[in-house]
Structure 1
Amino acid sequence: MAFKKILIFSGGGLDRVTESFEHSFQSLGHTTEIYFHDHYRISLGLFKFFSRTPFTYLNLKYWERYKEVNSAQYEEKIKLFKPDLIFFYNFNSISIKLFKKIKKYYKIPTAYMVFADPLIAAKNSSYFLTNLIYCSHLFFINSSAIPSLRLISDASMHILPLAGDPRFYKPLRLKKDIDLFLMGQFSSISTATVTKAYILDYLCAEGFRVSAAGPGLEKLIRRPEFPHLKNLEVITTSSLPIEEVNVLYNRSKIVLAPEHPRDKDAPSPRAFEAALAGSFPLADYQRDAEQLFEGHLVTFRSVKEMADQVKYYLNHEEERENIASQLYQVTLRRHTYVNRAKEVLRVVFPP
């Protein structure tokens, strides 16, 4: 394939996923640039806050104006860079007018990697869903949302599973001094946070030695709904650099990897990360996991089955480490961001 110029738009700023895609496209010989708006998170936060006040109408006018300004800046970037492909990740701050212009005037392929089911993510706003309609290619982490999206969009739709980055997650051969570990974000009272809290509380109640790290834990362990979290070993209540997360994965006998309840059928990104670190991820059952990990990912369908799996694999070290080794090989071979970048290019620019 001839080299391509790829412009990545990240609505949420420069994060690890965006940077991993940039590096992957570049490693395949393509010129890549990232565009993100510095004030997106602040603006989105203000939008969400004021949407709960009597000033909703003014708030919507502000948001539309913000998107117009951001879109004008983004269009200038398109004119200067002249990309062959625009790859969207986590966007919601571009006007519909610009999407139409990209499609009809610039005629540039636009691909978006869809992490959350758009019909759920767009429940309070049609902007996100409308933007997706004007993309030429949609890549989903699972197949559950595709049938509904086909009713409103003629975009080319494909499965593009989650992945890990072996530059950051890798085996370190450290002593396994942590029995069970969960890395997460606990600062919001969402269904994902509550699900993780109940999992941790149940395991603590069963007498397992459980460790966790992430923002919000200091408040979560004091909530009366989770009385057994007082026995949780809290490693940190702050976000951690990715290198330290990799160290914790390597120190763990079992890494808990429950998926967000919103993301049906797709394994948690923690499963890919832990596998690349050479650890043993234990995940709740997701339909796509069997095929993705070639039958090596151990899963559970209930908290009781989870506790049974934990007890068994803590007591069967050799079997646990053999499975971890197989998962590492499968993930390194099939589930890196370089694999995903190749698939995007193959679909958008077929031979």
Structure 2
Amino acid sequence: MITINEFEKYDIVFISSIKYANKISAQVNTIVKPLLQCTDPTIFFTEPQEDINDEILFVGMTRHVHRQIIKDALKTNHNISIYGGGWEAYLDKNDIKGQFIPNEELHKYYSSCKILLNDHWEDMKNEDFPSNRLFDALACGTFVISDNIPSAKTIFKDTIITYDNVDDLNKKLDYYLNHEDERKIIAEKGKKLVLKNHTFDHRVIEILKTIKNIDISNF
């Protein structure tokens, strides 16, 4: 929603999509850099709980929209644990596991499930803005299946499994639930990747480097 003229009012613009940052950079004179979402490993870390037994988990509000990944998941052969507000308008109450998970408890749910489902709003998918949920979940050592975005391969190096349709989702849920060792290997690779490259500390360093390299003689 930000106009080109508004971008030009700033010395630096950071955008949480490499694709969209490159797109805007080609249209403006100001400095435009990608600055991806990230995670706080003091909040999101591995701490599984025996009393949390969600096999396939989704955490998110509706925002007054029946999200596509939930439509798809409910058409598979699997039971989905759904937590979030607003689902009463779209789902049977028996499909809703809870209304809210406190942020300080979320890592326990991520750590305890076998598969976490993740999705993106259409504009995020189209411009390849990876969800912050991906960074948080991987930091917990969680195995993630997501709707399809290019950065699943380019940023996350195939540590995020994506699906294309209901049949594909059903097959991948079946496969990875029955291949625990493979699932855990992928999740551990994702955790190492995020902790090495995508924490708030890494983003602060990126911001400071960009500021340091600005030619202040132009101001």
Is 1:179 the counterpart of 2:179? The answer is no
Match of 1:235 in 2: 97
1:184 shift after superposition: 0.8
**How many matched pairs?**
211
Match of 1:311 in 2: 174
| Larger relative contact order (CA 8 Å, sep ≥ 6) | 2
Runs of 5+ in structure 2 lacking a partner?
215-219
Match of 1:324 in 2: 187
Residues of 2 paired with 1:147 and 1:329: CA distance? 27
Aligned 1:120-135 pairs, distance under 5 A: 121-122=1-2, 130-135=5-10
CA separation of 1:306 and 1:349: change in aligned 2, threshold 3 A: same
8 Å contact kept, 2:38–2:203: yes
Q: CA RMSD in A?
A: 2.2
- TM-score, normalised on structure 1? 0.56
Runs of 5+ in structure 1 lacking a partner?
1-120, 222-228
- TM-score, normalised on structure 2? 0.86
8 Å contact kept, 1:266–1:289: no
2:106 to 245, 253, 261: 245
Residues of 2 paired with 1:141 and 1:171: CA distance? 25
Residues of 2 paired with 1:217 and 1:344: CA distance? 38
2:116 to 249, 255, 267: 255
Which of structures 1 and 2 has the bigger CA Rg?
A: 1
User: Partner amino acid for 1:325?
Assistant: E
1:187-236 Cα offsets, whole Å, 9 max, x none, are x33xxx33x2x322332232311011111122221xxxxxxx5652x222
Percent identity over paired residues: 23
Is 1:265 the counterpart of 2:128? The answer is yes
Aligned 1:1-351 pairs, distance under 5 A: 121-122=1-2, 130-146=5-21, 148-150=23-25, 152-175=27-50, 177-186=53-62, 188-189=63-64, 193-194=65-66, 196=67, 198-221=68-91, 232=95, 234-238=96-100, 240-263=101-124, 264-350=127-213
Residues of 2 paired with 1:286 and 1:304: CA distance? 18
User: Partner amino acid for 2:108?
Assistant: V
Secondary structure, in 3 states, of the residue corresponding to 2:47?
A: coil
